Amino acid sequence: MAAPSITEREGELAREAALNAWGADHYRYNRRFEEMLAAHCGVAHAVSLPHATSGVHLALAALGIGPGDEVIGPDVTWIASMAPVTYMGAVPVFVDILPDTWCLDPVAVEAAITPRTKAIIGVDLYGSMCDWDALREIADRHGIALIEDAAEALGSTYCGRPAGSLGDVAVFSFHGSKTITTGEGGALVTNDPQLHARVQKLRDHGRPPGDRFFLNDEVAFKYKMSAVQAALGIAQMERLDALIAYKRQLFGWYADRLRNVPGLTINAEPQEVKNSFWMVTVIPDQRYDLDKFALQTALAEQGIDSRPFFSSLSSLKAYADTDCRPLLTPRAETARIVHAGINLPSGYGLDEATVSYICETLKEILQGCEQR
């Protein structure tokens, strides 16, 4: 579905780190990776982490969010975007997404704000971008924090600004399926020096950076990335422009073959956005009598892997018995997206002929399911 692109350079740097990243040099590869990531995002600070989930968790903790507080986020996203809200004892407030970008609806965010609201989490879903100007205006007007979950959007831009630079704090994922990978891994980025310092302390069991006496002054977390992972990240960042160019070319192959299929929606790229197209996604409309799981099964029978569009968090059993506040009036379009959307193969190494086969197979399946 989303295999990474790994070259000899990644192997060489990982081996070098395994042999040398000890003692006084233990953080050299992490530091270099963080510097490269911060420079790409145009921010002052980056912190390498074991995964993006830890980044959201640390962001919430550093912002002082806790029991009784509310955090607004999209109802349609991967659970990792909002699960840390529950870790903190706060209340996740799920609101609707926009039908074109599949990102947080600013109007729904505004309607969900209460005196208990302390933060908004905007998710740059599948490489798409939130309406960050609108979310920033809402956050500033209400005096609440703005968190950018850019886990899936490294390389995307909004109004010329890179993903990761739009919130008070942002997080990335470097899971094996992501645009760049460290195997597992993530990062937190920010321009706020106080928030950065707080994160550095919280991610190392509540002790200040540089402490050598093990005199912790609070109970916190252990969220660090290994040097070998960071070395992989350095090699991947060296190739980032080429990797993004491939993702965009891959999407172009799909778009050329699918744009005229009746009732089929693919990833959006509004004028103000450059989409890195982490995943190529299709949404068949109601004329096709099948849901996402049936479509996946039909594709699998022809040797094509896929994955379902994320389900609504408020519909998951995971949230059935938790303190959360679901959206009130989701759009009909949102229900259709969740019901029928799938991600098509989007990994590095796919060629144009393979994409043609995938698209022709998809068209045949859809034609066979079209209601007459």
- Domain 8-238 - what CATH class? alpha beta
Q: Where are the beta strands (DSSP E) in the chain?
A: 45-49, 70-74, 91-95, 117-123, 145-149, 157-158, 161-162, 169-173, 186-190, 264-266, 273-274, 280-284, 307-308, 342-344
User: Is 240-369 in CATH node 3.90.1150.10?
Assistant: yes
Neighbours of 190 (CB within 10 A): 28
Distance between CA atoms of residues 327 and 89, nearest Å: 19
SS3 39: helix
pTM over 0.85: yes
- pLDDT of 116: 97
Q: What is the pLDDT of residue 330?
A: 78
The pLDDT of residue 2: 92
Q: What is the pLDDT of residue 208?
A: 83
Give the separation between CA 42 and CA 188, rounded to whole angstroms: 13
Contacts of 109 (CB under 8 A, 6+ apart): 72, 95, 120, 135, 138
Known catalytic residues? 178
Q: What is the DSSP annotation of 147-208? A: EEE-TT-TT-EETTEETTSSSSEEEEE--TTSSS--SSBEEEEES-HHHHHHHHHHTBTT--
- List the pLDDT tens digit at each of the 372 positions of the chain: 999 999 999 999 999 999 999 999 999 999 999 999 999 999 999 999 999 999 999 999 999 999 999 999 999 999 999 999 999 999 999 999 999 999 999 999 999 999 999 999 999 999 999 999 999 999 999 999 999 999 999 999 999 999 999 999 999 999 999 999 999 999 999 999 999 999 999 999 999 888 889 989 999 999 999 999 999 999 999 999 999 999 999 999 999 999 999 999 999 999 999 999 999 999 999 999 999 999 999 999 999 999 999 999 999 999 998 888 777 677 899 999 999 999 999 999 999 999 999 999 999 999 999 876
Determine the pLDDT at residue 328: 65
Query: Residue 199: how many CB atoms within 10 A of its CB?
Result: 25
The separation between the first and the last C-alpha atoms of the chain, rounded to the nearest angstrom, is: 32
Q: What is the pLDDT of residue 212?
A: 87
The pLDDT score that the predictor gives to residue 372 is: 60
Contact in structure between 57 and 65 (CB atoms under 8 Å):
no
The full DSSP string for 342-353 is: EEEP--TT--HH
**Interhelix angle 292-300/352-369, nearest 10 degrees:** 130
Residue 362 vs residues 36, 268, 350, 357: alpha-carbon distances, Å:
39, 19, 16, 9
Do the domains spanning 8-238 and 240-369 agree at the CATH topology level?
A: no
So where are the chain's domains? 8-238, 240-369
Residue-by-residue DSSP string for 198-212: HHHHHTBTT--TT--
